[in-house]
Chains A and B, each alone.
Chain A
Amino acid sequence: MSTIKDMTDTHNWSGQKLVTADHLLFDAPREKHFMTGSEVLKEAVKRCTVDASVSYPITPQSEAAHLIGELWAEGYVGTYFRGENEFGVMSEVAGCAMAGARTITTTSGPGTLRAMENFAQWSGTRIACQLILMARGINSPLTIQPDNLEVSYLLETGCMVWYAENVQELFDMSIAAFVVAEQPDVHVPIITAVDGFFVSHTRESVMLPADDIALKPYNPYAAPLPPIDSETPPGRFLRDPFVMKSNYISYATHASWQWEVRSAVERSRRYAEHYLKGLVHITGDEDAEVAFVTCGTASHQAKEGQRELAKLGVKSKVIKLRTIRPFPKQELIAALEGVKYAFVPEFNIVGWLEKEVRGALYGVSKTEVVGGPRVAGGMSLPAEAIIQEVMEKINPGKGA
């Protein structure tokens, strides 16, 4: 265990050299490793000078939360404990972040819904904590399989929502997430999502910088709301008395506060463009008539579909959305220029990404949106299903 007093101008409390986010993410030499999403998250947290983490062990979880506990025991994380349930944990995370800590936790599926009330509270109190969501679907009936239905519940919480495709992206994105969320003109919570099991439990090769460097510490005094630490004039999270009254001023105050939270999410775009190298990533044929709009591991499957379709003489491209909140509307419209059909393959029953895409394109794009193929409940999404969906659409009645 460490003490914060061990930190110097050049090194954090665990002795890691403090570097810029650009150096850590782009410039530092990297070596190849082979690890799961949970293990890579531990490596990311290790390099982020994290003050606090609170954990809860429910399945379907991943090893991520207890691996962060190991980091605490090894002196990399300032304070760490196991909470009583997800609602409690997310409240404890709120307390940690309000008190001025760079804070992280993880959850999935049913636990996400148990904690739900907190996410809107997080954004309302403008804390810049990070939640790693390893999506595993929602009961009932009981399931522990990968499915990302719970993400749809998080879209209107006022938190940023990013989506990583694989282990490598999870590493880079979870570091960038702290950097972007902590910008003084952003400063809202960030939810970094991956498809559970496929990413959390699957081992992939990943390029990592050395572990003797780390992000500079979080500066709570640059936050738009002062930390709750008695070191600045009283900042009140229940703002002014009139907020609790039933009159026009209180309504207007509440409305403008919520509007500001959404505006802060929008202001994250320029930082995300830099640290994620774009809000969307596009692969495949530039002059394609068929596009796949995806996030997470559906992107990987779509890319395989795109390669197979090329063999059949069908030009297609994959537009992978890396941020869902803010939603990359303009980037998507530009990427769909000249595209006839946009397919939205998803790992959930409701097609929340399809709804997002339809909403963004409505009235401004001639591209026809096709919701699917969709799988749910833990089913896999083979490239064959994607190819079939496309061929039936562009070649009706004749199939692939």
Chain B
Amino acid sequence: MAIDIYKINPEFRDIMPQEIIDLEEKATWAQNQEKPRGIKELPDTKEILEEHSLCAGCPEAAALRYVLAALPKPEETIIVNSTGCTSLMFPHIALHTVHSLFGNQNAVASGIKRVLDWRFPDTDKDVVVLAGDGATVDIGLDYTLQSFFRQENITTICFDNEVYANTGGQESGSTPRGQVFKMAPTGKKFEKVKMWELAVTSGCHYSMNMTASAPKAVAKAVREAILIAREVGPTFLNIYTPCILEIGLSANEGLGEMKDQDKDRFANFKHVSPEAEEFLKKCKAEGRL
């Protein structure tokens, strides 16, 4: 039934804005596609993210587009968010999204997922958490890890910009050692929290550390993480989306920064549990990836 909610009542079609009509006709809903969704269709299809109000050249905006383009089944996907720059984009996403508080995103997502499994036992409803490093690694760390411990069937994506960007550039747990930010006027005194490693020891079946420099790689990780979360257990993606404002870069320099970090703090880390590995093989054989 979920796909039907995007169908326009014929009586109102003539007064509908073009982007709403496009959403029905040109968005890549999983149900209308034979192949898995991906970023290749981005230029020719309607994205499920309409305009947004982030800064020009913001890598986070690009990363969100890749994530949304790669959702295996957007019409049955709920995204839970936390306070931050992403919450400025959330009202522009044509899916059910939730903003609750700062840091409680994995707890809210746990409740939603448990109830959706209860209310719709025959339908796969995907719950994806999308939050920044402050919400995931600092204030919400307890809830992030506890959802992993409990083996909640949710995917957690951290847009790691290594700083509290939305509040004006304060040090976060994800800030690298030595970096000068607000609240770290002489440089950060301890190491960047390796959340992707904590995710592994806390029970995630799939954990990655990467940048958003390569759209295809992001899309692949998102697809795999969500499918594994659906069937096996919790999954985690840590994606570098630098705040170009806070580190003094221009609008056209975000991609270069991510490429540089592909070889440094965000050098590819990938963990796949044996169960997840087995499951991915099955998905490949069935053409789901």
Q: Which A residues have a C-beta under 8 Å from some C-beta of B?
A: 3-5, 51-52, 54, 78-79, 81, 83-85, 87-89, 91-101, 103, 117-118, 121, 125, 228-241, 243-244
The interface bits of chain B over 7-37 (1 if a CB of A lies within 8 angstroms of the residue's CB, else 0) are 0000000000000000000000000000000
Given A4-B121, A234-B95; 18 other pairs, CB 8 A cutoff:
A51-B118, A84-B146, A91-B107, A94-B108, A95-B107, A95-B112, A99-B113, A99-B119, A230-B2, A230-B77, A230-B95, A230-B125, A234-B94, A234-B96, A236-B96, A238-B97, A241-B53, A241-B88
Which 8 residue pairs across A and B have the least CB separation, nearest first?
A95-B111, A91-B107, A238-B99, A99-B115, A91-B104, A96-B111, A92-B111, A95-B108
Q: How far is the CA of A309 from the CA of B25 in the complex (A)?
A: 78
Q: Is the CB of B107 within 8 A of A88?
A: yes
Whether A52 contacts B121 in the complex (CB less than 8 A), given A84-B143, A88-B104, A88-B143, comes out as: no
Does B245 sit at the interface, judged by CB under 8 A? no
Residues of A within 8 A of B119 (CB): 4, 51, 99-101, 229
Residues of B within 8 A of A234 (CB): 5, 93-97
Q: Is the CB of A241 within 8 A of B117?
A: no
Residues of B within 8 A of A84 (CB): 107, 142-143, 146
Instruction: Tell me which of A78, A87, A235, A237 contacts B104 (CB under 8 A).
Output: A87
Q: Is the CB of A236 within 8 A of B118?
A: no
Q: How far is the CA of A99 from the CA of B100 in the complex (A)?
A: 13
Residues of A within 8 A of B53 (CB): 241
Instruction: Tell me which of B2, B90, B142, B150 contacts A238 (CB under 8 A).
Output: B90
Q: Is the CB of A237 within 8 A of B100?
A: yes
Does B180 sit at the interface, judged by CB under 8 A? no
Q: Is the CB of B111 within 8 A of A235?
A: no
Q: Is the CB of A121 within 8 A of B100?
A: yes
Q: Is the CB of B108 within 8 A of A92?
A: yes
Q: Is the CB of B90 within 8 A of A95?
A: no
Q: Is the CB of B90 within 8 A of A236?
A: yes
Q: How far is the CA of A47 from the CA of B108 in the complex (A)?
A: 26
Residues of A within 8 A of B150 (CB): 81
Q: Which B residues have a C-beta under 8 Å from some C-beta of A?
A: 1-2, 5-6, 53, 75-78, 80-81, 87-88, 90-101, 104, 107-121, 125, 142-143, 146, 150
Q: Is the CB of A83 within 8 A of B107?
A: yes
In the assembled complex, how far is the CB of residue B176 from the closest CB belonging to chain A, in whole angstroms?
29
Q: Is the CB of B111 within 8 A of A94?
A: yes
In the assembled complex, how far is the CB of residue B131 from the closest CB belonging to chain A, in whole angstroms?
13
Q: Is the CB of A228 within 8 A of B110?
A: no
Q: How far is the CA of A95 from the CA of B113 in the complex (A)?
A: 8
Q: Is the CB of A240 within 8 A of B91?
A: yes
Residues of B within 8 A of A238 (CB): 81, 87, 90-91, 97-99
Q: B52: nearest residue on chain A (CB-CB)?
A: A241
Q: A96: nearest residue on chain B (CB-CB)?
A: B111
Q: A93: nearest residue on chain B (CB-CB)?
A: B111
Q: Is the CB of A79 within 8 A of B100?
A: no
Instruction: Tell me which of B76, B90, B111, B121 contacts A98 (CB under 8 A).
Output: B111
Q: Is the CB of A237 within 8 A of B99?
A: yes
Residues of A within 8 A of B94 (CB): 234
Residues of B within 8 A of A231 (CB): 1-2, 5
In the assembled complex, how far is the CB of residue A269 from the closest CB belonging to chain B, in whole angstroms?
29
In the assembled complex, how far is the CB of residue B110 from the closest CB belonging to chain A, in whole angstroms?
5
A-B contact pairs, 25 of them (CB 8 A): A4-B121, A52-B111, A54-B111, A79-B118, A84-B146, A85-B142, A91-B107, A91-B143, A95-B113, A95-B114, A96-B111, A98-B98, A100-B115, A101-B115, A118-B104, A121-B100, A121-B101, A229-B119, A230-B2, A236-B91, A236-B97, A237-B97, A237-B99, A238-B91, A238-B99
Q: How far is the CA of A83 from the CA of B87 in the complex (A)?
A: 25
Q: B109: nearest residue on chain A (CB-CB)?
A: A95
Instruction: Tell me which of A93, A97, A117, A228 contacts B78 (CB under 8 A).
Output: A228
Q: Is the CB of B95 within 8 A of A5?
A: no
Residues of B within 8 A of A79 (CB): 114-115, 117-118
Residues of B within 8 A of A228 (CB): 78, 96, 98, 112
Residues of A within 8 A of B80 (CB): 95
Instruction: Tell me which of A3, A93, A230, A237 contacts B75 (CB under 8 A).
Output: A230
Q: Is the CB of A239 within 8 A of B91?
A: yes
Residues of A within 8 A of B113 (CB): 95, 99
